[in-house]
Protein backbone atom coordinates (compact mmCIF):
# COMPACT_ATOMS: atom_id res chain seq x y z
CA UNK A 1 0.00 0.00 0.00
CA UNK A 2 1.20 3.48 -0.82
CA UNK A 3 1.72 5.85 2.06
CA UNK A 4 -1.04 8.50 2.28
CA UNK A 5 1.64 11.20 2.47
CA UNK A 6 3.02 10.08 -0.90
CA UNK A 7 -0.44 10.18 -2.46
CA UNK A 8 -0.86 13.74 -1.15
CA UNK A 9 2.50 14.76 -2.63
CA UNK A 10 1.42 13.34 -6.00
CA UNK A 11 -2.06 14.88 -5.93
CA UNK A 12 -0.99 18.31 -4.74
CA UNK A 13 1.43 18.59 -7.67
CA UNK A 14 -1.15 17.63 -10.31
CA UNK A 15 -3.79 20.04 -11.65
CA UNK A 16 -6.54 17.46 -11.07
CA UNK A 17 -6.89 18.09 -7.34
CA UNK A 18 -7.35 21.86 -7.46
CA UNK A 19 -9.52 21.76 -10.55
CA UNK A 20 -11.87 19.32 -8.82
CA UNK A 21 -11.73 21.34 -5.62
CA UNK A 22 -12.75 24.52 -7.49
CA UNK A 23 -15.77 22.76 -9.01
CA UNK A 24 -16.82 21.15 -5.71
CA UNK A 25 -16.55 24.47 -3.82
CA UNK A 26 -18.65 26.17 -6.50
CA UNK A 27 -21.27 23.39 -6.54
CA UNK A 28 -21.68 23.74 -2.77
CA UNK A 29 -22.10 27.50 -3.25
CA UNK A 30 -24.54 27.08 -6.14
CA UNK A 31 -26.62 24.53 -4.23
CA UNK A 32 -26.94 26.82 -1.18
CA UNK A 33 -27.80 29.74 -3.48
CA UNK A 34 -30.61 27.78 -5.17
CA UNK A 35 -31.82 26.34 -1.88
CA UNK A 36 -32.50 29.86 -0.66
CA UNK A 37 -34.20 30.99 -3.91
CA UNK A 38 -31.19 32.86 -5.34
CA UNK A 39 -30.87 35.07 -2.28
CA UNK A 40 -28.29 37.70 -3.33
CA UNK A 41 -26.31 37.45 -0.08
CA UNK A 42 -25.57 33.75 -0.72
CA UNK A 43 -23.63 34.55 -3.89
CA UNK A 44 -22.01 31.31 -5.13
CA UNK A 45 -18.70 33.03 -6.00
CA UNK A 46 -18.46 34.38 -2.46
CA UNK A 47 -19.16 30.98 -0.88
CA UNK A 48 -16.78 29.13 -3.23
CA UNK A 49 -13.96 31.63 -2.59
CA UNK A 50 -14.42 31.39 1.18
CA UNK A 51 -14.31 27.57 1.06
CA UNK A 52 -11.23 27.55 -1.20
CA UNK A 53 -9.33 30.12 0.87
CA UNK A 54 -10.01 28.07 4.00
CA UNK A 55 -8.88 24.81 2.35
CA UNK A 56 -5.72 26.40 0.89
CA UNK A 57 -4.79 27.96 4.23
CA UNK A 58 -5.39 24.72 6.15
CA UNK A 59 -3.37 22.62 3.68
CA UNK A 60 -0.71 25.33 3.41
CA UNK A 61 -1.00 25.44 -0.40
CA UNK A 62 0.20 28.56 -2.21
CA UNK A 63 -1.90 30.32 -4.84
CA UNK A 64 0.43 29.46 -7.75
CA UNK A 65 0.00 25.71 -7.05
CA UNK A 66 -3.76 26.15 -6.77
CA UNK A 67 -3.91 28.14 -9.99
CA UNK A 68 -2.19 25.37 -11.97
CA UNK A 69 -5.41 23.41 -11.56
CA UNK A 70 -7.84 26.34 -11.55
CA UNK A 71 -6.44 27.86 -14.76
CA UNK A 72 -8.65 25.59 -16.87
CA UNK A 73 -11.74 27.20 -15.35
CA UNK A 74 -10.19 30.68 -15.51
CA UNK A 75 -9.45 30.18 -19.23
CA UNK A 76 -13.15 29.79 -20.06
CA UNK A 77 -13.75 33.45 -19.11
CA UNK A 78 -12.56 34.39 -22.62
CA UNK A 79 -15.01 32.30 -24.69
CA UNK A 80 -17.79 33.07 -22.17
CA UNK A 81 -17.24 36.80 -22.73
CA UNK A 82 -17.50 36.23 -26.49
CA UNK A 83 -20.72 34.26 -25.91
CA UNK A 84 -22.32 37.35 -24.30
CA UNK A 85 -22.93 38.49 -27.90
CA UNK A 86 -25.79 35.97 -28.09
CA UNK A 87 -28.16 37.27 -25.35
CA UNK A 88 -27.29 40.75 -26.59
CA UNK A 89 -28.32 39.83 -30.15
CA UNK A 90 -31.55 38.25 -28.86
CA UNK A 91 -32.45 41.56 -27.19
CA UNK A 92 -31.23 43.84 -29.99
CA UNK A 93 -34.63 45.43 -30.66
CA UNK A 94 -34.98 46.55 -27.01
CA UNK A 95 -31.39 47.77 -26.91
CA UNK A 96 -31.75 49.77 -30.13
CA UNK A 97 -34.98 51.43 -29.02
CA UNK A 98 -33.33 52.83 -25.86
CA UNK A 99 -29.80 53.31 -27.19
CA UNK A 100 -29.58 57.02 -26.28
CA UNK A 101 -30.77 56.62 -22.66
CA UNK A 102 -28.67 53.51 -22.29
CA UNK A 103 -25.40 55.11 -23.37
CA UNK A 104 -25.99 58.26 -21.29
CA UNK A 105 -26.85 56.21 -18.19
CA UNK A 106 -23.80 54.06 -18.78
CA UNK A 107 -21.32 56.92 -19.05
CA UNK A 108 -22.75 58.52 -15.88
CA UNK A 109 -22.56 55.17 -14.06
CA UNK A 110 -19.00 54.40 -15.22
CA UNK A 111 -17.66 57.81 -14.22
CA UNK A 112 -19.41 57.82 -10.84
CA UNK A 113 -18.11 54.31 -10.07
CA UNK A 114 -14.47 55.19 -10.75
CA UNK A 115 -14.64 58.71 -9.25
CA UNK A 116 -16.38 57.67 -6.01
CA UNK A 117 -14.07 54.67 -5.53
CA UNK A 118 -10.88 56.71 -5.96
CA UNK A 119 -12.15 59.72 -3.96
CA UNK A 120 -13.31 57.67 -0.97
CA UNK A 121 -10.11 55.60 -0.81
CA UNK A 122 -8.02 58.78 -1.08
CA UNK A 123 -10.05 60.62 1.58
CA UNK A 124 -9.63 57.71 4.01
CA UNK A 125 -5.85 57.83 3.60
CA UNK A 126 -5.07 55.00 1.17
CA UNK A 127 -1.65 55.14 -0.51
CA UNK A 128 -1.52 56.47 -4.12
CA UNK A 129 -0.77 52.92 -5.25
CA UNK A 130 -3.96 51.59 -3.63
CA UNK A 131 -6.02 54.54 -4.98
CA UNK A 132 -4.81 53.77 -8.52
CA UNK A 133 -5.54 50.06 -8.00
CA UNK A 134 -9.08 50.75 -6.80
CA UNK A 135 -10.16 53.28 -9.48
CA UNK A 136 -10.85 50.74 -12.29
CA UNK A 137 -12.42 48.11 -9.98
CA UNK A 138 -15.87 48.14 -11.65
CA UNK A 139 -14.36 46.93 -14.92
CA UNK A 140 -14.09 43.26 -15.79
CA UNK A 141 -10.80 41.62 -14.67
CA UNK A 142 -8.35 41.64 -17.63
CA UNK A 143 -9.06 45.21 -18.70
CA UNK A 144 -9.11 46.55 -15.13
CA UNK A 145 -5.63 45.13 -14.65
CA UNK A 146 -4.44 46.94 -17.78
CA UNK A 147 -5.94 50.26 -16.64
CA UNK A 148 -4.49 49.87 -13.13
CA UNK A 149 -1.02 49.41 -14.59
CA UNK A 150 -1.40 52.58 -16.67
CA UNK A 151 -2.46 54.57 -13.59
CA UNK A 152 0.45 53.28 -11.49
CA UNK A 153 -1.51 50.73 -9.43
CA UNK A 154 -0.85 47.06 -8.67
CA UNK A 155 -2.59 44.95 -11.33
CA UNK A 156 -2.77 41.83 -9.14
CA UNK A 157 -4.38 43.80 -6.29
CA UNK A 158 -6.82 45.28 -8.82
CA UNK A 159 -7.80 41.74 -9.93
CA UNK A 160 -8.84 40.92 -6.36
CA UNK A 161 -10.66 44.24 -5.86
CA UNK A 162 -12.54 43.61 -9.12
CA UNK A 163 -13.82 40.25 -7.87
CA UNK A 164 -14.78 41.71 -4.48
CA UNK A 165 -16.65 44.51 -6.30
CA UNK A 166 -18.43 41.97 -8.49
CA UNK A 167 -19.56 40.02 -5.43
CA UNK A 168 -20.67 43.27 -3.72
CA UNK A 169 -22.54 44.40 -6.84
CA UNK A 170 -24.28 41.04 -7.20
CA UNK A 171 -25.20 40.84 -3.48
CA UNK A 172 -25.97 44.45 -2.47
CA UNK A 173 -27.09 45.66 -5.92
CA UNK A 174 -30.44 43.80 -6.08
CA UNK A 175 -31.18 44.72 -2.45
CA UNK A 176 -30.53 48.42 -3.17
CA UNK A 177 -32.60 48.30 -6.38
CA UNK A 178 -35.51 46.78 -4.44
CA UNK A 179 -35.22 49.50 -1.77
CA UNK A 180 -35.23 52.12 -4.53
CA UNK A 181 -38.27 50.43 -6.13
CA UNK A 182 -36.57 50.20 -9.53
CA UNK A 183 -38.57 47.52 -11.35
CA UNK A 184 -37.63 48.08 -14.99
CA UNK A 185 -35.59 44.97 -15.97
CA UNK A 186 -33.48 47.02 -18.40
CA UNK A 187 -32.46 49.54 -15.70
CA UNK A 188 -31.85 46.73 -13.17
CA UNK A 189 -29.65 44.81 -15.61
CA UNK A 190 -27.72 47.89 -16.67
CA UNK A 191 -27.06 48.93 -13.05
CA UNK A 192 -25.89 45.46 -12.00
CA UNK A 193 -23.65 45.23 -15.08
CA UNK A 194 -21.98 48.58 -14.30
CA UNK A 195 -21.75 47.93 -10.53
CA UNK A 196 -20.85 44.25 -10.58
CA UNK A 197 -19.42 43.53 -14.09
CA UNK A 198 -19.33 39.78 -14.93
CA UNK A 199 -20.42 38.50 -11.52
CA UNK A 200 -23.37 40.91 -11.58
CA UNK A 201 -24.11 39.83 -15.16
CA UNK A 202 -24.07 36.16 -14.10
CA UNK A 203 -26.60 36.96 -11.41
CA UNK A 204 -28.80 39.03 -13.78
CA UNK A 205 -28.69 36.24 -16.37
CA UNK A 206 -30.09 33.77 -13.82
CA UNK A 207 -32.92 36.06 -12.83
CA UNK A 208 -34.22 37.45 -16.15
CA UNK A 209 -33.12 37.33 -19.81
CA UNK A 210 -33.73 41.03 -20.50
CA UNK A 211 -31.78 42.00 -17.37
CA UNK A 212 -29.01 39.56 -18.36
CA UNK A 213 -28.62 41.02 -21.85
CA UNK A 214 -28.54 44.60 -20.56
CA UNK A 215 -26.06 43.62 -17.84
CA UNK A 216 -23.74 41.98 -20.39
CA UNK A 217 -23.93 45.05 -22.60
CA UNK A 218 -23.28 47.34 -19.62
CA UNK A 219 -20.25 45.28 -18.65
CA UNK A 220 -18.76 45.54 -22.15
CA UNK A 221 -19.47 49.25 -22.63
CA UNK A 222 -18.34 50.11 -19.09
CA UNK A 223 -15.01 48.41 -19.85
CA UNK A 224 -14.73 50.39 -23.06
CA UNK A 225 -15.71 53.77 -21.52
CA UNK A 226 -13.45 53.34 -18.46
CA UNK A 227 -10.47 52.14 -20.51
CA UNK A 228 -10.67 55.21 -22.73
CA UNK A 229 -11.76 57.93 -20.26
CA UNK A 230 -10.05 57.02 -16.97
CA UNK A 231 -6.39 57.25 -18.11
CA UNK A 232 -7.18 60.62 -19.79
CA UNK A 233 -8.88 62.04 -16.68
CA UNK A 234 -6.10 60.66 -14.47
CA UNK A 235 -3.39 62.32 -16.59
CA UNK A 236 -5.31 65.60 -16.41
CA UNK A 237 -5.77 65.42 -12.60
CA UNK A 238 -2.23 64.41 -11.58
CA UNK B 1 -21.21 21.79 -29.70
CA UNK B 2 -17.65 21.38 -31.00
CA UNK B 3 -18.32 23.75 -33.92
CA UNK B 4 -19.84 26.36 -31.59
CA UNK B 5 -16.97 26.18 -29.13
CA UNK B 6 -14.50 26.51 -32.01
CA UNK B 7 -16.40 29.54 -33.28
CA UNK B 8 -16.26 31.22 -29.83
CA UNK B 9 -12.52 30.52 -29.52
CA UNK B 10 -11.89 31.73 -33.08
CA UNK B 11 -13.69 35.03 -32.36
CA UNK B 12 -11.60 35.45 -29.22
CA UNK B 13 -8.40 34.65 -31.13
CA UNK B 14 -9.16 37.19 -33.86
CA UNK B 15 -10.02 39.66 -31.07
CA UNK B 16 -6.71 39.07 -29.27
CA UNK B 17 -4.74 39.47 -32.50
CA UNK B 18 -6.62 42.66 -33.43
CA UNK B 19 -6.01 44.14 -29.95
CA UNK B 20 -2.28 43.42 -30.12
CA UNK B 21 -1.91 44.59 -33.72
CA UNK B 22 -3.91 47.84 -33.54
CA UNK B 23 -3.07 48.55 -29.85
CA UNK B 24 -6.80 48.77 -28.95
CA UNK B 25 -7.29 49.59 -25.23
CA UNK B 26 -9.90 46.80 -24.79
CA UNK B 27 -9.39 43.10 -23.95
CA UNK B 28 -9.41 40.58 -26.83
CA UNK B 29 -12.56 38.72 -25.70
CA UNK B 30 -14.59 41.97 -25.76
CA UNK B 31 -13.51 42.57 -29.37
CA UNK B 32 -14.39 38.90 -30.03
CA UNK B 33 -17.86 39.56 -28.58
CA UNK B 34 -18.33 42.51 -30.97
CA UNK B 35 -17.21 40.36 -33.94
CA UNK B 36 -19.62 37.55 -33.05
CA UNK B 37 -22.40 40.10 -32.57
CA UNK B 38 -21.75 41.57 -36.05
CA UNK B 39 -21.70 38.05 -37.48
CA UNK B 40 -25.11 37.28 -35.93
CA UNK B 41 -26.49 40.56 -37.33
CA UNK B 42 -25.30 39.63 -40.83
CA UNK B 43 -26.63 36.07 -40.53
CA UNK B 44 -29.87 37.34 -38.94
CA UNK B 45 -30.26 34.66 -36.30
CA UNK B 46 -28.53 32.46 -33.73
CA UNK B 47 -27.93 28.84 -34.85
CA UNK B 48 -29.46 26.40 -32.34
CA UNK B 49 -26.18 24.64 -31.41
CA UNK B 50 -24.50 28.00 -30.74
CA UNK B 51 -27.41 29.05 -28.53
CA UNK B 52 -27.02 25.78 -26.61
CA UNK B 53 -23.26 26.12 -26.10
CA UNK B 54 -23.70 29.75 -25.04
CA UNK B 55 -26.41 28.79 -22.55
CA UNK B 56 -24.10 26.14 -21.09
CA UNK B 57 -21.23 28.60 -20.64
CA UNK B 58 -23.32 31.55 -19.47
CA UNK B 59 -25.47 29.63 -16.99
CA UNK B 60 -22.21 28.85 -15.13
CA UNK B 61 -20.60 32.22 -15.70
CA UNK B 62 -20.05 32.90 -12.00
CA UNK B 63 -17.94 29.73 -11.63
CA UNK B 64 -15.37 31.25 -13.98
CA UNK B 65 -14.59 34.08 -11.53
CA UNK B 66 -13.75 31.74 -8.65
CA UNK B 67 -10.04 31.17 -9.48
CA UNK B 68 -9.37 34.94 -9.74
CA UNK B 69 -11.37 35.57 -6.56
CA UNK B 70 -9.29 33.06 -4.64
CA UNK B 71 -6.34 35.33 -5.51
CA UNK B 72 -7.41 37.36 -2.47
CA UNK B 73 -4.93 35.05 -0.67
CA UNK B 74 -2.05 36.90 -2.36
CA UNK B 75 -2.99 40.28 -0.92
CA UNK B 76 -4.25 39.50 2.56
CA UNK B 77 -1.49 41.62 4.18
CA UNK B 78 -2.01 44.66 1.92
CA UNK B 79 -5.80 44.52 2.26
CA UNK B 80 -5.60 44.17 6.05
CA UNK B 81 -3.30 47.20 6.20
CA UNK B 82 -5.71 49.37 4.16
CA UNK B 83 -8.89 47.59 5.26
CA UNK B 84 -10.88 50.73 6.08
CA UNK B 85 -10.26 52.75 2.89
CA UNK B 86 -10.56 49.68 0.66
CA UNK B 87 -13.68 48.29 2.36
CA UNK B 88 -15.58 51.59 2.59
CA UNK B 89 -14.59 52.60 -0.93
CA UNK B 90 -15.65 49.28 -2.49
CA UNK B 91 -19.03 49.15 -0.73
CA UNK B 92 -20.00 52.82 -1.19
CA UNK B 93 -18.78 53.20 -4.77
CA UNK B 94 -20.59 50.01 -5.81
CA UNK B 95 -23.84 51.33 -4.31
CA UNK B 96 -23.25 54.72 -6.00
CA UNK B 97 -22.63 53.05 -9.39
CA UNK B 98 -25.76 50.89 -9.14
CA UNK B 99 -27.98 53.79 -7.97
CA UNK B 100 -26.69 56.34 -10.51
CA UNK B 101 -26.97 53.94 -13.46
CA UNK B 102 -30.46 52.71 -12.56
CA UNK B 103 -31.84 56.20 -11.81
CA UNK B 104 -30.33 57.64 -14.98
CA UNK B 105 -31.74 54.84 -17.15
CA UNK B 106 -35.22 55.09 -15.62
CA UNK B 107 -35.11 58.91 -15.80
CA UNK B 108 -33.98 59.11 -19.44
CA UNK B 109 -36.54 56.50 -20.50
CA UNK B 110 -39.29 58.40 -18.71
CA UNK B 111 -38.26 61.57 -20.58
CA UNK B 112 -38.46 59.61 -23.84
CA UNK B 113 -41.86 58.25 -22.81
CA UNK B 114 -40.85 54.58 -23.00
CA UNK B 115 -41.38 51.75 -20.58
CA UNK B 116 -39.60 48.41 -20.31
CA UNK B 117 -40.70 45.03 -18.97
CA UNK B 118 -41.09 45.22 -15.18
CA UNK B 119 -40.01 42.90 -12.41
CA UNK B 120 -42.90 41.68 -10.26
B64 lies in some domain: no
Lowest model confidence (mean pLDDT) among A114-123, A197-206, B17-26: B17-26
| Model pLDDT, residue A238 | 73
Mean pLDDT within A138-144:
84
Average pLDDT value over all residues in chain A: 90
Q: Are residues B116 and B76 in the same domain?
A: yes
Q: Are residues B74 and B54 in the same domain?
A: no
The verdict on a CB contact (< 8 Å) between B85 and A121 is: yes
Residue of A37, A68, A78, A133 to mutate when probing chain B, most B C-beta within 10 A: A78
Mean pLDDT within A160-186:
94
pLDDT at B120 over 70: no
Sort residue A154 into left (φ over 0), alpha (ψ -120 to 50) or beta.
Answer: beta
**Percent of chain A surpassing pLDDT 90:** 60
Q: Are residues B52 and B73 in the same domain?
A: no
B9 touches chain A (CB under 8 A): yes
B3 lies in some domain: yes
Answer with the one of B9, B31, B59 that is the final residue of a domain.
B59
pTM: 0.86
Q: Are residues B4 and B40 in the same domain?
A: yes
**Percent of chain A surpassing pLDDT 70:** 100
d(CA A195, CA A88): 18
| Model pLDDT, residue A1 | 61
The verdict on a CB contact (< 8 Å) between A105 and B101 is: yes
pLDDT at A95 over 90: no
pLDDT at B119 over 90: no
- The ipTM is 0.88
Q: Which domain holds residue B73?
A: 69-120
Chain B: give the shortest CA distance to residue A79, in Å: 5
Residue of B20, B94, B115 to mutate when probing chain A, most A C-beta within 10 A: B94
d(CA A54, CA A69): 17
| Model pLDDT, residue A212 | 92
pLDDT at B118 over 80: no
Higher pLDDT, A202 or B113: A202
Task: Name the residue in chain B with its Cα closest to that of A112.
Answer: B97
Q: Are residues B50 and B84 in the same domain?
A: no
d(CA A128, CA A157): 13
Q: Are residues B54 and B82 in the same domain?
A: no
| Model pLDDT, residue B67 | 92
pLDDT category, A227, cuts 50, 70, 90? Answer: confident
Q: Do the beta carbons of residue B118 and residue A193 sit within 8 Å?
A: no
The 8-class DSSP code of residue B74 comes to G
| Model pLDDT, residue A61 | 92
Q: Do the beta carbons of residue A149 and residue A136 sit within 8 Å?
A: no
Amino acid sequence: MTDLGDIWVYLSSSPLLHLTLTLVAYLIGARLYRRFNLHPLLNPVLIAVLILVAVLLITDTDYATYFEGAQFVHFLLGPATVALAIPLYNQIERVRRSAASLISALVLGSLSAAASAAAIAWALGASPEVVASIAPKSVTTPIAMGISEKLGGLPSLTAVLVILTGVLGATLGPILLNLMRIRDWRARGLAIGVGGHGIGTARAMQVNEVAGAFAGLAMGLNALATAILLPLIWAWLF
Amino acid sequence: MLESLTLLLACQLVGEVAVAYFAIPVPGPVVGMVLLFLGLCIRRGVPAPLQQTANGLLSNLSLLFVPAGTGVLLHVALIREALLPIGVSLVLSTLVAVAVTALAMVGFEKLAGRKGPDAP
